[in-house]
Copies of this chain bind each other. A is one copy, B any other.
Amino acid sequence: MADELPKTPMLDELEKGPWPSFVSEIKMAAKRSPASKDLLGILERSYQEKIGHWKHGGIVGVLGYGGGVIGRYCDVPQDFPNVAHFHTIRVNQPAGWYYKTDALRKICDIWEKRGSGMTNMHGSTGDIILLGTSTDQLEPIFEELTAIGFDLGGSGSDVRTPSCCLGKSRCEWACYDTMAACHDFTKNYQDELHRPAFPYKFKFKFSGCPNDCVASVARADMSIIGTWRDNIRIDQKAVGDYASAGVDVTKEIVNLCPAKCMDWDGKMLKIDNSTCRRCMHCINVMPKALRPGKDTGACILIGSKAPIVEGALLSSVIVPFIKMEPPYQEIRDLVERIWDLWCDEGKNRERIGEFIQRVGLGNFLEMIEVEPAAQMVAHPRENPYVFYEEYFEEGEEEAEN
């Protein structure tokens, strides 16, 4: 195979220092893979010239699927023929990113044979990313992946691979089973995931509590965040233990509570749960003393995304509270009403968040048959430009629509 590595004086600088070096990784792979060897070379050239050497897109894929492969070609194939093609394969990760080594090793074996040997564990959306192969390898890779129980992820205008925090598997705060839900949704929407038919991409992310350890509020078209409706559980003795151990309950907890709903007199911690915002701070600081309530479930938010085109969005509340029990029928129904509407009325490359910005939240709720709730707004409108839909007709006494 590739015996001698190219000279990479600039990249070599990035093998120094304590943090794991991606350059060393590519060099390891390059020992075996001509593609990774050329990747080293072309990257060194980018570092010299301060510009990337990858051409724009190109549609490649596996039979019957529309997503899952990102086509990539370099713009200097004469110099780096082994990365003339350098496609990426996205693979659905198991919920929570748990693995047994045998499964991982099987993936490595496929990738040793049919790709560059370079991966991302994982991509930003959450997929296993197999980085760099050529068009002729796609079908064989797909066949071998499915044979070991893995399938492709999304790309293009489809459902993207859902992801979740580790939830109930290891976290005491999980208000619902994020891994179960994530797996269920991923399986249930395989068709929508593999065959792009939407105006644009659609991402689900599942976090077990408002700490939101998968950043769902910032980067999911639907963010499903665990929470509770009843009271925070308090172990007063354990609060006292924290205090004795040096936690300044007033300064570090009471004064930082955004709802200003706590009181600590040195003996008793009181929480006004009617105004508690379920922010998690007090629980985070004293995990042995405080726990979320028992009437748990999730709130659902919709529409976050990166800035392109109309500016970045955070997800906003669409279902203030819902119990999370399989088969999640109520959520599936909601999702399908939303997709139907969006497919009918959404513009090309208009994410659901932008669609709602365009048609208005009030109208959107009407179209998807959801009742408005005060939890859906930070505050009611400030401008007086109200579209009154009810009024009296001459001679009438009752308001009509």
Contact = CB atoms under 8 A, between A and B. Distances in A.
Interface of A: 255, 260, 307, 311-312, 382-385
Given A255-B255, A312-B383, 8 more contacts: A255-B260, A307-B383, A307-B384, A307-B385, A311-B382, A311-B383, A311-B385, A312-B382
A74 to B, nearest CB: 24
A353 to B, nearest CB: 14
Contacts of A260: 255
Closest CB pairs A-B (n = 7): A311-B383, A307-B383, A307-B384, A312-B383, A312-B382, A255-B255, A307-B385
10 contacts: A255-B255, A255-B260, A307-B383, A307-B384, A307-B385, A311-B382, A311-B383, A311-B385, A312-B382, A312-B383
A321 to B, nearest CB: 29
A49 to B, nearest CB: 14
A308 to B, nearest CB: 9
Nearest to A254: B255
A191 to B, nearest CB: 35
Contacts of A312: 382-383
A311 B307 CA distance: 25
Nearest to A255: B255
Nearest to A383: B311
A359 B111 CA distance: 55
Contacts of A382: 311-312
Contacts of A307: 383-385
A255 B385 CA distance: 37
Contacts of A255: 255, 260
Nearest to A306: B384
Contacts of A311: 382-383, 385
A333 B307 CA distance: 40
A385 B311 CA distance: 9
A7 B235 CA distance: 72
A219 to B, nearest CB: 15
